[in-house]
Amino acid sequence: MSVREGRGFQAGGNALFVASQEGHAEIVLLLLQAPGYLDVNHRTKMGATALAIASKQGHAKAVVLLLAANARINLATTEGMTPLMYAALNGRVEVVQILLAAGALVNQSANDGMTALYMASSEGFENTTRVLLLANANTSLCKNNGNSPLNAAAHNGHDGVVKLLISAGADVNQSRHDGTTPISGASQYGHIACVRSLL
């Protein structure tokens, strides 16, 4: 199969996508340098690019190579997920730093309203959350149900992230559409450290 073709791989991926997924930087470079190679922004059936999958997996070298080949940094999947969001959701702090330095939109949101900060906060990734906050991530941007990054972190018991968000100015009283606040969520699930931080 030609490297220009997108057939034969799961979900419509191609050779560049697979190499990026596995972090094979030398193969990524070889494919990018091949005459007539597939467009670096080729998308799978779900709209994912090689940059998105490399970011998700935390393969920093592949990310750098793809960006140098003019991969579209803010190109989103059919669910609205960007490379930065994938990196943040999986705690890939080095990749998050690379993407932000290359111009990734820190406050872009997915179809459900989640931002990179929301994803990192919800999963408890303190270093990733810190990097996003330093890049001026908006702490008040919420999921479509009104759930804020602070609410998500408190609900899941991530006290380190709760402290970071509060220090960055997050509203401790911001509630979801159903009225749930960060402290009520933390109280419901027994996260005493979070409750103390929110008082």
Quick: pLDDT tens for 156-198. Answer: 999 999 999 999 999 999 999 999 999 999 999 999 999 999 9
d(CA 197, CA 154): 9
d(CA 67, CA 52): 11
SS3 category, 37: coil
Contact 175, 181 (CB under 8 A): yes
90 contacts: CB under 8 Å, gap ≥ 6: 56, 57, 58, 123
d(CA 184, CA 94): 34
Domains 1-82 and 106-199 share a fold: yes
pLDDT digits (tens, 9 = 90+) for 28-42: 999 999 887 678 999
pLDDT digits (tens, 9 = 90+) for 66-112: 999 999 999 999 999 999 999 999 999 999 999 999 999 999 999 99
Q: Which two tokens stand for residue 16?
A: 């560049």
What pLDDT is recorded for position 94? 99
CATH architecture of the domain formed by 106-199: Alpha Horseshoe (1.25)
DSSP H stretches of helix in the chain: 15-22, 25-33, 50-57, 60-68, 83-89, 93-101, 116-123, 126-134, 149-155, 159-167, 182-188, 192-198
Q: Quote the mean pLDDT of the chain.
A: 93
- Domain 1-82 = CATH 1.10.10.10: no
Question: Which amino acid is located at 28 in the chain?
Answer: V
d(CA 56, CA 99): 12
User: Among 10-19, 48-57, 185-194, where is mean pLDDT lowest?
Assistant: 10-19
What pLDDT is recorded for position 8? 37
Domain ranges for the chain: 1-82, 106-199
